[in-house]
Amino acid sequence: MTEIKRIESGQRMSQAVVANGMVWLAGQVGAPGKPAADQTRAILAQIDTLLKKAGTDKTRIVSAQIWVADMAADFAAMNSVWDTWVPQGSAPARATGEARLATPDYKVEIIVTAVL
From residue 58, give the alpha-carbon distance in Å to each of 1, 22, 84.
27, 13, 12
Residues 29-58 within binding reach of a second copy (CB under 8 A): none
Q: How far is the CB of 58 from a second copy (least distance, A)?
A: 12
Of positions 33, 35, 100, 105, contacts a second copy by CB under 8 A? 100
d(C-alpha 98, C-alpha 60), whole Å: 25
Q: How far is the CB of 94 from a second copy (least distance, A)?
A: 4
Q: What is the DSSP letter of 4?
A: -
Examine residue 90 and tell whether it contacts a second copy (CB under 8 A). yes
Q: How far is the CB of 30 from a second copy (least distance, A)?
A: 14
User: 71: which residues sit within 8 A by CB, 6+ positions away?
Assistant: 96, 98
Total residues belonging to the chain: 116
Q: Quick count: other Cβ atoms within 10 Å of Cβ 77?
A: 18
d(C-alpha 95, C-alpha 44), whole Å: 16
Examine residue 81 and tell whether it contacts a second copy (CB under 8 A). no
Q: How far is the CB of 112 from a second copy (least distance, A)?
A: 10
Examine residue 80 and tell whether it contacts a second copy (CB under 8 A). no
Interacting residues with a second copy (CB under 8 A): 1-2, 4, 6, 9-17, 19-22, 24-27, 60, 62-65, 67, 71, 75, 79, 82-83, 86, 88-102, 109, 111, 113, 115-116
